[in-house]
Amino acid sequence: MDSLWFSVICGHHVSPFTMLDFDQSCHRKHGFSLENKLVFGRKPYKQALITARVVSPTQLAIVPSPDKEPVDPDQNHVAWTSVKQERWEGELVVLGEIPLWLKGTYLRNGPGLWHIEDYNFRHLFDGYATLVKLNFEDGRLIAGHRQIESEAYKAAKKNKKICFREFSEVPKHENFMAYVGDLAKLFSGSSLTDNANTGVVKLGDGRVVCLTETQKGSLVIDPNSLETLGRFEYSDSLGGLIHSAHPIVTDAEFLTLLPDLLKPGYLVVRMETGTNERKVIGRVNCSGGPAPGWVHSFPVTQHYVVVPEMPLRYCAQNLLRAEPTPLYKFKWHPQSKAFLHVMCKASGKVVTSVEVPLFVTFHFINAYEEEDEDGRVTSIIADCCEHHADTSILDQLRLKNLRFFKGEDVLPDARVGRFKIPLDGSRNGKLEAALEADEHGRGIDMCSINPAYLGKKYRYAYACGAQRPCHFPNTLTKLDFVEKKAKNWYDEGAVPSEPFFVARPGATEEDDGVVISLISEKNGGGYALLLDGSTFKEIARAKLPYGLPYGLHGCWVPKK
């Protein structure tokens, strides 16, 4: 318990206060002292200019980290180190200015705890979910983080071992019969994880849901307390075990894809806001391969859903294995080719399926329709963070690789892949870079756009790029698809998470707003960063009491 952070005393608010006041009141009320451990104020550190909401440390279920004292700082970057404790909340000191119009909560989800007892997980995606919040109001910022209480997480803590199948980790079986029993449970889905560690979305009715690739890993949370409220139960009988981890969510609906591993294809489904019932829009049959391609995400236009069929396909044999394969639950099938299918949202009809060059992507950025002079849709443009049809990025995201950086340039190249899908019956689509990849250091992933441009012609995207040499995307980049230029933000040794764009209410320009990112620093620290959406210059930053692990995707919950 060498460096625990308490989010301070119970039942009262003190703001602003000096460390001395704080320490004394803490001692008076609770009989413990913080011994200058709050080092996140402005210098001198004895003045911790925070407002503390008060949680007794005895109420915190503390998860001690097994990590030993840092030997080599490169191997112990806080981005890849388990979160220090289960939860924390407090006000941060803001340097710069938070726009007064920014009122609401940014939530970010991600895998933040990569060990149980002394067993260390292997892959970034295995970690138990850590939810982070940044609550902005009146230029002030209250931050917090909390572990998501999935069944998988609770069972692991209780039994001191992994109890469900994670991305690459599988529970260890005591004997062969236990293994066979577990396989049976795999088919029913009961052995699959509900560790909702990938994203978080705000539904049109206000419910906030954390998600992962398993359907059972859809968990409702309270965006203020970050408490896990329970499972989001899909009330339909569509079944299936997996879905896209990135549904398209608007105020009106929730669209997602349900891969069908038995009869290779995908169901395109829609859940109307205010309901828990998904209804089938239509079905796409795969054009190649023994199984559907992995659909981590997919794009939509105003009238169409684009269903990607990557040659990186789900693999039933690999699903059954106890030890991870180089491609985990997937298999690379270049001979099966790659396709994009376009489904009309209104009719559920597949209007075209085109073969495209082989590709690998986690994240589609956006898509839109191109029209001729008579307003007829002639083609669809779909953009994604494309890894040059190379699956090695999956291996690069093993914790062993992320924790080892000796200055070598090992991040595989990536580009903004721009697909052009003709709607004139042609059988082939094109794939080209939307801009010179050197503009963003030949690394690109973790993207966001102005949500008002979802499915529409757009000019800007925000993402993580690369400043070489590096082993992981280490810049924030603003992409301009008209000028074909990028603006880059970089802080040496820092690992920034997905830049998230929030539009200024009433804005008319696409990039009028702010970009939020959480930064994990090389010295173990961390801060929340706000960039101007237009100039891409820093407007504010606020240091966290300690650096947080890397996180994946976020959402914005505006203040009501």
Ligand X SMILES: CC1=C[C@H](O/C=C(C)\C=C\C2=C(C)CCCC2(C)C)OC1=O
State yes or no: residue 319 binds ligand X (CB under 6 A). Answer: yes
Quick one: what does residue 86 bind among ligand L25FO4UU, ligand X, none, with the CB cut-off 5 to 8 Å set by partner type? none
Quick one: what does residue 393 bind among ligand X, ligand L25FO4UU, none, with the CB cut-off 5 to 8 Å set by partner type? ligand L25FO4UU
Q: Based on CB atoms, which residue is closest to ligand L25FO4UU, 413 or 480?
A: 413
Q: Decide: 530 and 514 in contact? Cβ < 8 Å.
A: yes
- Is residue 13 a known part of a binding site? no
Q: Decide: 53 and 8 in contact? Cβ < 8 Å.
A: yes
Instruction: Name the minimum Å distance from CB 13 to ligand X.
Output: 37
Quick one: what does residue 166 bind among ligand L25FO4UU, ligand X, none, with the CB cut-off 5 to 8 Å set by partner type? ligand X
Quick one: what does residue 167 bind among ligand L25FO4UU, ligand X, none, with the CB cut-off 5 to 8 Å set by partner type? ligand X
Burial of 11 (0-12, 13-18, 19+ CB in 10 A): exposed
- Is residue 363 a known part of a binding site? yes
Instruction: Kindly identify the residues of this chain, within the stretch 236-255, that bind ligand L25FO4UU according to CB under 6 A.
Output: none
Taken in order 453, 535, 106, 386, the sign of the CA dihedral is: positive
Instruction: Kindly identify the residues of this chain, within the stretch 224-243, that bind ligand X according to CB under 6 A.
Output: 242
Question: Which residues contact residue 269 at a Cβ distance below 8 angstroms, ignoring those fewer than 6 apart?
Answer: 238, 255, 256, 257, 258, 278, 279, 280, 281
State yes or no: residue 198 binds ligand X (CB under 6 A). Answer: yes
Quick one: what does residue 108 bind among ligand X, ligand L25FO4UU, none, with the CB cut-off 5 to 8 Å set by partner type? none
- Please tell me the distance from the alpha carbon of residue 359 to that of residue 389, in angstroms, as a whole number: 4
Stretch that binds ligand X, among 5-13, 56-64, 162-170, 430-438 (CB under 6 A): 162-170
- From the list 89, 21, 22, 90, the residue with the least C-alpha distance to 51 is 90
Binding mask 157-196 for ligand L25FO4UU (x = CB under 6 A): ----------------------------------------
Rg, the chain, Cα only:
23
Q: Based on CB atoms, which residue is closest to ligand L25FO4UU, 56 or 401?
A: 401
- From the list 277, 253, 256, 276, the residue with the least C-alpha distance to 266 is 256
Compute the half-sphere exposure of residue 436: CA atoms within 13 Å on the CB side of its CA: 7
Quick one: what does residue 213 bind among ligand L25FO4UU, ligand X, none, with the CB cut-off 5 to 8 Å set by partner type? ligand X
Compute the half-sphere exposure of residue 269: CA atoms within 13 Å on the CB side of its CA: 25
Q: Measured at CB, which residue is nearest to ligand L25FO4UU? A: 445
- From the list 360, 388, 395, the residue with the least C-alpha distance to 167 is 395
Stretch that binds ligand X, among 160-168, 223-231, 345-353, 527-535 (CB under 6 A): 160-168
Total residues contacting ligand L25FO4UU by CB under 6 A comes to 7
Q: Based on CB atoms, which residue is closest to ligand X, 104 or 240?
A: 240
Query: Amino acid identity of 27?
Result: H
Q: Which of 307, 454, 544, 552 binds ligand X (CB under 6 A)?
A: 552
Stretch that binds ligand X, among 193-201, 303-311, 353-361, 523-531 (CB under 6 A): 193-201
75: its two tokens? 């191997």
Q: Which of 90, 299, 473, 513 binds ligand L25FO4UU (CB under 6 A)?
A: 473
Q: Which of 126, 182, 383, 445 binds ligand L25FO4UU (CB under 6 A)?
A: 445
Question: Which residues contact residue 291 at a Cβ distance below 8 angstroms, ignoring those fewer than 6 apart?
Answer: 261, 264, 313, 314, 315, 316, 331
State yes or no: residue 552 binds ligand L25FO4UU (CB under 6 A). Answer: yes
- Please tell me the distance from the alpha carbon of residue 180 to that of residue 32, in angstroms, as a whole number: 51
Total residues contacting ligand X by CB under 6 A comes to 19
Q: Based on CB atoms, which residue is closest to ligand X, 23 or 498?
A: 498
State yes or no: residue 296 binds ligand X (CB under 6 A). Answer: yes
- Is residue 303 a known part of a binding site? no
Q: Decide: 124 and 81 in contact? Cβ < 8 Å.
A: no
- Please tell me the distance from the alpha carbon of residue 162 to that of residue 122, in angstroms, as a whole number: 12
Q: Based on CB atoms, which residue is closest to ligand L25FO4UU, 341 or 387?
A: 387
The DSSP code for 118 is T
Q: Based on CB atoms, which residue is closest to ligand X, 209 or 242?
A: 242
Instruction: Name the minimum Å distance from CB 414 to ligand L25FO4UU.
Output: 6
Instruction: Name the minimum Å distance from CB 458 to ligand X.
Output: 24
State yes or no: residue 109 binds ligand X (CB under 6 A). Answer: no
- From the list 133, 236, 149, 247, the residue with the least C-alpha distance to 201 is 247
Helix, strand, coil share of the chain (percent; to 5): 15, 35, 50
Quick one: what does residue 473 bind among ligand X, ligand L25FO4UU, none, with the CB cut-off 5 to 8 Å set by partner type? ligand L25FO4UU
46: its two tokens? 């004895």
Q: DSSP string of 241-270?
A: SB--SS-EE-SSEEEEEEEETTTTEEEEEE
Q: Decide: 483 and 439 in contact? Cβ < 8 Å.
A: no
State yes or no: residue 362 binds ligand L25FO4UU (CB under 6 A). Answer: yes
Q: Which of 5, 22, 125, 232 binds ligand X (CB under 6 A)?
A: 125
State yes or no: residue 329 binds ligand X (CB under 6 A). Answer: yes
Q: How far is CA 133 from CA 52, 539, 549, in A?
A: 15, 19, 13
Q: Which of 106, 234, 362, 405 binds ligand X (CB under 6 A)?
A: 362
152: its two tokens? 């998988």
Helix (H, G, I), strand (E, B) or coil at 22: helix
Give the footprint of ligand L25FO4UU on this chain (CB under 6 A).
Answer: 198, 362, 393, 414, 445, 473, 552
Give the footprint of ligand X on this chain (CB under 6 A).
Answer: 125, 165-167, 192-193, 197-198, 212-214, 242, 245, 296, 314, 319, 329, 362, 552
- Residues forming the annotated binding site? 246, 296, 363, 553
- Residues forming the annotated binding site for Fe cation? 246, 296, 363, 553
